[in-house]
Amino acid sequence: MPAATGMPILSVSRKEGPTMFDTASMTDFWLRVLGLYFLVAGLGVFAQVDKLAGLATEIRENALLRWLSAILAFAVGVLILATRDGSGGGPAMIVSIIGWVSLIKGIFLFVAPPALFGFYDSLLANRTVLRVWGVAIVLAGGGLIWLGYSG
């Protein structure tokens, strides 16, 4: 504030009424964000089954892609775990599990030898499994969004 007038330098007025993240707890926030991500990612998996078949091979053979994937998964896991609510309950537990899975996936991508990616090759080569996985991710995303707004 300027000393002479006592008035704030910048005054911003907000519209009244709830927005997607206005009054959400961190658990609700993460449920909504992760739900939206799962929804979009699941649709992407379902829509691009043919392009995903070689993804594990690409990650195994491309060190830069593997490291970028590891950094992203690790950072998301740390961010979720560092900012989640400490309160218990089912929704908070779901957020914690997703955070831990992301963190462990990041660690795996950092330290696992590329030979261990053969398991993913076999999963991603099966287009039926990918389609089912895409639908499951979409349903999980819808469920997370529902939990995020019902709490």
Beta carbons within 10 angstroms of residue 35's beta carbon: 20
- Its domain, for residue 65, covers 26-150
Domain contains 59: yes
Q: What is the pLDDT of residue 93?
A: 93
Domain contains 64: yes
pTM: 0.78
Q: Taking 60 as the threshold, does the pLDDT of residue 15 lie above it?
A: no
For the chain, the domain total comes to 1
Q: Are 88 and 73 in contact (CB under 8 A)?
A: no
For residues 151 and 60, what is the distance between their CA atoms, to the nearest angstrom? 40
Q: Taking 90 as the threshold, does the pLDDT of residue 95 lie above it?
A: yes
| 97 Cβ contact list (under 8 Å, min separation 6) | none
Domain contains 68: yes
Domain contains 14: no
Q: Taking 60 as the threshold, does the pLDDT of residue 12 lie above it?
A: no
The upper half-sphere exposure of residue 70, i.e. CA atoms within 13 Å in the direction of its Cβ, equals 16
Q: What is the pLDDT of residue 43?
A: 95
Local confidence band at 81 (pLDDT 50, 70, 90 cut-offs)? very high
The 3 state secondary structure assigned to 19-48 is CCCCCCCHHHHHHHHHHHHHHHHHHHHHHC
